[in-house]
Structure 1
Amino acid sequence: MSLPTKDHCEEKNAHDAETSNGGQEHPFYVDTHYIKALLYWNETANEHDNTKKFFDDVLPEILPEPVTGKSFFNVLGVGSGTGKIDLHILSTIQKLRPDLKIYSETIEPTKEEIDLYKASVSNTPELSNVTFTWHNKSVVEYEADVKQNNTAKKFDLIHMVQMLYYVKPVKETLEFLKSLLSPEGRLVIVVLSGECGWVKMFRNNIYPSNQDFNLDLDSDQTTDILDAIVMRYEIHDIDSFMDVTGLVEGREDSELLLDVIMDEAEFAKTASPDLKAQLMADLQDPEFTFRKDGKIWLDTRVKGIVARH
């Protein structure tokens, strides 16, 4: 059944946007420990910087030409976290097309991350052309609400950066997001490469992992799904490496990285000695990591997939 659509998102004041309630929080966010781990990871990895460069390269091709007369641009961020990548995307769109009114919607199940996102918006005054709406819920809950209330909207850009691992069912979710794309819209997915050391490490060893975290889902499997739901796409390589030297050397402050690698809060305190020993050995295995400039780097390369109807 086709859903009624709106040409653009309902307007909210950029610094007084509505947030839906009822989102299911990631179980590791009870004391914001996992957020601290993610922030620490951002300091030791180059993924965010290189992902921003990727969007700098592809956004000019995604944006409509001024001659089309289009006056607005709808953006949906799925699992946007604290909004670091989102704000870069929105700022870049505004710089490229200052004439466009940008309507930004975000789906994020963790309230603490939405609060950090809002704080960043308040400290970014140059986003004058952007109107924000946050939905404190999972993408599955968002889809259910849209279908129940017949409130589907069309988006010119939908992006999912390193969050597809938490989506179930994946194929059905991507089909839903495809249905939300405008005729010339793009679905941009950033996901781990099937060739990266991080994915290989999880596949080659039996690690107990959170049931909601599917690190086995990689770029190859993602494109297989896009083929199945009949979407055209382009694939871009994005370099990404994580400095795990401190972990191997036993520096206590580096233990936060274990929470990100294993997607488990305070992994160092809860894992068995044998499991920690196995992980430490893997982090020195040249199949998964490499040494350069006196440091040990975990290979976390990702792919940027730009899909369309």
Structure 2
Amino acid sequence: MAEEKQTCYEGSSVQSFQFYLEHSGEHKAILQCVHNLLPGEFKRVAEGKSSLDVLGVGSGGGEVDAQMLTLLQSTVPAVPITADIVEGSSALTDNFKALVAKTTNLQKIPFAWHIMHSEDYEKHVKAKGVKKFDFIHMIQMIYYVDDLAESIKFHHSLLKKNGRLMIIIETAHGGWDTLWKTYKKDLCVHAITEYRSSAEVISCLKSQGLKYEEHVITNAFDISECFNPSSQTGQRLLNFMTAKDNFYQSFTSETRAGILDLLKNKCSTQRDGGVFFNSNLSCILVHA
């Protein structure tokens, strides 16, 4: 059996990711955008159709997917829905399955689970053929694909008539973009080998001549604890933000100092005695 490709969230990374979600408010910001934008999009997508097929790529523990599927059900209650989920982390897929098991409305949806990297799913589809989809979403996962242009082209090719591909990614020139591009040599060494923001995605969409709209999702979270070396919360946030198991042991003292200075002065806003990291996102809706 071929060696499984390293994905972001296995083992200790799962706990690190969940800790980040609890502190960053990221899912809340994404869900607010989803609830504002998607009902209108879902009506357009569903027009004249007797069923709807959804594909989630990199769906994690399913918290956002569950809300989107529930929203889709309430927007077009008479239309049956299927959901295919592609996720590289078996632990996060188990979380998603547990969420479905305790959510009555989701139990009406037939799920197909593909525990694999998105590139392996692509190979699988190209070898065997697969159904097309009305709505495909790739939320905070485009950092992990090997070939960005090919991945966008492939997933766009799976859209049915009037379908939408939704990509949510960190916005260009935000805190993450600044941190990861400034310290690319130190950070882009494991699961993420090339950092991407909305700028790279939009460049790909333009070069492929695809129609899209971009909506900015504003978000910021308090990273004041990151500047207290004895703070457990600060260390755990730094571990996640730099994709390292131990921030203080993973870098030279010079690099650590540089990262902390950048986080405070270029990636964040200081207010009310706190340091708030700019973690704005872009929601990009690509038309079929």
**Common fold by TM > 0.5:** yes
8 Å contact kept, 2:54–2:84: yes
The CA deviation at 1:41 is 0.9
Distance 1:226 1:47 in 2: 25
Q: Is the 8 A contact 2:6 2:191 kept in 1?
A: no
Assess, with a 3 A threshold, how the Cα gap between structure 1 residues 91 and 23 changes in structure 2: closer, same or farther.
farther
SS of the residue 1:106 aligns to: strand
SS in 2 for 1:222: helix
Aligned to 1:93: 72
Which of 249, 257, 272 matches 1:277? 257
The offset of 1:233, in angstroms, is 0.3
1:103 and 1:131 in contact (8 A); partners too: yes
* 1:160-171 to 2 correspondences below 5 Å: 160-171=138-149
Q: Post-superposition shift, 1:273?
A: 2.8
CA-to-aligned-CA distance 1:15-52 (integer Å, 9 cap, x gap):
xxxxxx9893646655x311111111112212211111
2:20 is matched with 41
Matches within 5 A, 1:1-309: 24=4, 26=6, 29=9, 32-64=11-43, 68-149=47-128, 151-205=129-183, 207-209=185-187, 210-214=189-193, 216-250=195-229, 251-285=231-265, 287-309=266-288
Q: Counterpart amino acid of 2:163?
A: G
- State which drifts further: 161-170 or 290-299: 290-299
CA shift, 1:221, in A, is 1.5
Q: What letter is aligned with 2:252?
A: S
- Percent identity at matched positions? 26
Query: How far has the Cα of 1:275 moved from its partner?
Result: 2.4
Q: CA contact under 8 A between 2:53 and 2:135: conserved in structure 1? A: yes
From the superposition, tell whether residues 28 and 161 of structure 1 become closer, same or farther in structure 2 (CA, over 3 Å): closer
User: Runs (4+) of structure 1 moved beyond 6 Å?
Assistant: none
Q: Aligned pair in 2 of structure 1 residues 63, 206: CA closer, same or farther (>3 Å)?
A: closer
Matched residue type, 1:131: P
- Unpaired runs of 5+ residues, structure 2, are none
Q: Give the alignment's Cα RMSD to 1 decimal.
A: 2.2
If the length of structure 1 is used for normalisation, what is the TM-score? Answer: 0.85
Q: 1:201 and 1:126 mapped to 2: Cα distance?
A: 40
* Unmatched segments (≥5 aa) in structure 1: 1-20
**Partner amino acid for 1:261?**
M
Query: What is the aligned partner in structure 2 of residue 14 from structure 1?
Result: none
TM-aligned CA deviation for residue 172 of structure 1: 0.7
Read off the aligned partner of 1:265 and give its amino acid letter.
D
- SS of the equivalent of 1:44 reads helix
Q: Is the 8 A contact 1:156 1:181 kept in 2?
A: yes
Distance (Å, rounded) in 2 between the aligned partners of 1:269 and 1:71 = 56
* Equivalent residue pairs, number: 286
Asked if 2 retains the 8 angstrom alpha-carbon contact of 1:28 and 1:264, the reply is: no
- For residues 114-167 of structure 1, the C-alpha deviation after alignment (integer angstroms, 9 at most, x for no partner) is 111111111212324322111011111011111111x22111110011110111
Residues 94-129 of structure 1: per-residue CA shift (max 9 Å, x gap): 122221211111111111111111111112123243
Cα deviation for residue 263 of structure 1 reads 1.8
Give the TM-score of the pair, scaled to structure 2: 0.91
Q: CA deviation at 1:79?
A: 0.8
Question: Which residue identity does 2:164 align to in structure 1?
Answer: R
Paired with 1:81 and 1:91, the residues of 2 have a C-alpha distance of 17
Q: Secondary structure at 2:60's aligned position in 1?
A: coil
**Greater CA drift, 82-91 or 212-221:** 212-221
Counterpart-to-counterpart distance in 2, 1:101 and 1:139 = 26
Q: CA deviation at 1:207?
A: 4.4
